[in-house]
A and B are shown apart, each in its own frame.
Chain A
Amino acid sequence: MRTVGSLPEVWLTLAAAAAFGLAFAVDLLDAWRSGAAAAMEAAEGPGATRAAGWLRGMSVASAMTGLALLTTGIVLRWIGIGHPPIFGSWENAMAASWFLVVGVLVASAVWREWRFVGLGLYPGAVLTIVWGLRFNTNRIDLTISERSLWVDLHVLVAWSAYVVLAMMLCAALLSIARSSEKKRGRSLRLLRALPDAGWTDDLVAASTGWSFVGFTGVIVSGAWYSYLLFGETWRWDTVEVLALVVWLVLGLALHLRLFYGWRGARLAAVLSFGYVGVLAVYWVLALVPYASYHFFELPF
């Protein structure tokens, strides 16, 4: 049995994961209750139920508490080791979950229709932290090549794009669920209060566009860093090529939507396929030694 360790940031991150889990549970309850309320209002008219605003408030408070704990952990580690959390799967898990939760809070505060995304991103943050615990949590110095502001920028752009891509996946999965409802002729209670098919299509379109822009930024910043480090902007590295595949899939989806009117489950299936590539780029290939120079995992 592997021990978690005595570093304070590890315990703070675990506490944050618990808070994110609670936020997810509350959001789930809220969606369930709202679904029932929507059905009741549809049957008995507007005002038949009272919106449970406190559930929404509790979810946000829980997520904010978790975010504060995680931020404290990240700051402690940053001060302790002298670099932002960019090296190794544990630090990546901390950074990814931080970005995911910030993404939920910002998106749901600015755009009401994105509120449902917590149902996907909160558990995503928890799973990411649990995944990170499988790896070395010790504080380790950056290697010489990682000591560059361009690396920091590349990572910042990469995690920002990752959040938008995760939101895109949530919208795509909702779109698939909506198509399934349409086929079966009845709606799921949990989904009733979530954006309808029309809104979902718009959310899929917007998030695909932003994902494409974000991923372009990831590739461009990575190419520039590659030039500084190796003297070549493109090396046909496995991670680079898979990133290119993801980028092409996003471009393909945009063109299919624009010129061939692809909507709903068909488009969502293409995007979900692309997201498998995203997971491989961010998490899987980085664990395979010699497959890529994006290998940052450190042995226990």
Chain B
Amino acid sequence: MSDAPDTRRSDGPPRGGWLSRVVRLLVSNRTAVVLIAVLTGLSLIGVLYPQDRIMSAADIASLEQRWGVLASVGRALGFGSMFGSWYFLATAGLTCLSLIACTLRRVVRRRTGAPRVPSTDLANDPRAMDAGTVDADPGHLHSALRVALGPVGRLARMSDSSVDGTVRVFAETGRAGLWGSVVFHAALLVVAAGGVLTVLTWFAGQIVVSEGQTVVDARDAYMSVTREPDLGAAYSGAAITLRRITPSYEGDLLTRAQAEFEVTEAGGGSFVRQVEVNYPLEAGGKTYVLGNSGYAVQLAIKATGAALAVPARRILPAHGNLRTSHTPDQ
């Protein structure tokens, strides 16, 4: 998460206040690597240990019976809901902070001029190359190095420092490459921020709408609501009308169900969308995904033996168990 080896010793006495110590910890490459390793390990446990969200109570009981102490220890440590556990979220959060700190450090270091000449022995630096001792003026050496590096030399930055009377020239290449890495890490931060926002504004529910029916996005329009947002409004007030739905079959296989929706936003604007599997409807800040499509129960209400509603009409080939709810007039 940084372009230069971290040559500063972190095992000496702590310098500065707690804040500077925290910052030093966050910009450290070692911290970044440890956090990635811990996140990897926790995710792996989350894969190997059965998660509560996909297990029934009977499955959990069976697991505890089969694995005994191991399963009990896992449950006690919260492995069953790994991805909602405080330690997983804390590790993910710290990784994001490390990502921010390391990315900022790289950009700031790059913008503040000359590259840092490593203060420790270059022999310990995996990317250092010892060209031997050259008796030359540093200025001439810079020019000679640029020629020797060829096209890369145009991208290299060089600086020199005098240690015990010996001038050491340090060249750093990969200026353009830095920005690829910075953009990539910044993109990860955007994804992480998006994840946090999603969790805070997450809504999940099921809504049932029949052909010709209009529903207004409000609590009572939903058959079930499993999650309401912690931030922002849960319901948009948009009016959604299902104009028609057209199922297509190949033999017995439903291959397409295309629904035409008309949406009138709470602000007054309206539009029409064709919605089907893999083509969701986006309206009022929500994404509506077509679930089971096309069929609803039709009730035939009878009074004193006389039918009041039109009888259900079969419209599908070879699907005797499915009956349409399509009753245009009643």
Interface set of A (CB-CB < 8 Å, partner B): 141, 143-145, 147-148, 150, 225, 227-231, 233-234, 236, 238, 241-242, 244-245, 248-249, 251-252, 255-256, 259-261, 263, 290-291
The DSSP consensus for interface residues of chain A is helix
A144 and B39 within 8 A (CB): no
B280 and A260 within 8 A (CB): no
B33 and A255 within 8 A (CB): yes
29 contacts between A and B (CB under 8 A): A141-B250, A141-B255, A144-B255, A144-B257, A145-B278, A147-B256, A147-B278, A225-B278, A229-B277, A229-B289, A230-B289, A231-B287, A231-B289, A233-B198, A236-B46, A236-B51, A236-B83, A241-B46, A241-B83, A244-B43, A248-B39, A248-B40, A248-B43, A252-B36, A255-B29, A255-B36, A261-B126, A263-B126, A291-B54
B279 close to A (CB within 8 Å): yes
B129 close to A (CB within 8 Å): no
B1 and A249 within 8 A (CB): no
Which one, B54, B253, B257, B288, contacts A141 given CB within 8 A?
A: B253
A252 and B37 within 8 A (CB): yes
CA gap between A183 and B288 in the complex, in Å: 61
B43 and A148 within 8 A (CB): no
B contact residues, range: 35 or more
Tell me the minimal C-beta distance from B202 to chain A in angstroms. 9
The closest CB in chain A to the CB of B194 belongs to: A233
B212 close to A (CB within 8 Å): no
A150 and B47 within 8 A (CB): no
Residues of A close to B257: CB separation below 8 A: 144
A150 and B2 within 8 A (CB): no
Which one, B1, B33, B44, contacts A256 given CB within 8 A?
A: B33
Residues of A close to B2: CB separation below 8 A: 259
A145 and B277 within 8 A (CB): yes
CA gap between A229 and B39 in the complex, in Å: 28
B289 and A248 within 8 A (CB): no
The closest CB in chain B to the CB of A219 belongs to: B191
Most-contacted residue by chain A among B30, B33, B51, B250 (CB, 10 A) = B33
Residues of B close to A148: CB separation below 8 A: 278
Residues of B close to A225: CB separation below 8 A: 278
CA gap between A238 and B44 in the complex, in Å: 10
B5 close to A (CB within 8 Å): yes
Residues of A close to B230: CB separation below 8 A: none
CA gap between A148 and B277 in the complex, in Å: 9
Tell me the minimal C-beta distance from A130 to chain B in angstroms. 27
The closest CB in chain A to the CB of B59 belongs to: A290
B311 close to A (CB within 8 Å): no
A228 and B280 within 8 A (CB): yes
Known: A141-B253, A147-B255, A249-B40. A260 touches B33 (CB 8 A): yes
CA gap between A236 and B256 in the complex, in Å: 27
A228 and B255 within 8 A (CB): no
Residues of A close to B287: CB separation below 8 A: 227, 231
For chain B residues 16-66, which have a beta carbon within 8 Å of chain A? 29-30, 32-33, 36-37, 39-40, 43-44, 46-47, 51, 53-54
Residues of B close to A143: CB separation below 8 A: 253
B33 and A252 within 8 A (CB): yes
Known: A147-B278, A252-B36. A238 touches B47 (CB 8 A): yes
Residues of B close to A144: CB separation below 8 A: 254-257, 277
A259 and B6 within 8 A (CB): yes
CA gap between A259 and B29 in the complex, in Å: 7
Residues of B close to A291: CB separation below 8 A: 54
Residues of A close to B83: CB separation below 8 A: 236, 241
CA gap between A210 and B32 in the complex, in Å: 21
Tell me the minimal C-beta distance from B164 to chain A in angstroms. 25
B36 and A229 within 8 A (CB): no
CA gap between A255 and B51 in the complex, in Å: 30
- 6 A-B pairs besides A233-B198, A259-B5 with CB distance below 8 A are A147-B278, A225-B278, A231-B280, A231-B289, A238-B54, A252-B40
B139 close to A (CB within 8 Å): no
Tell me the minimal C-beta distance from B58 to chain A in angstroms. 14
Residues of A close to B93: CB separation below 8 A: none
Tell me the minimal C-beta distance from A44 to chain B in angstroms. 34
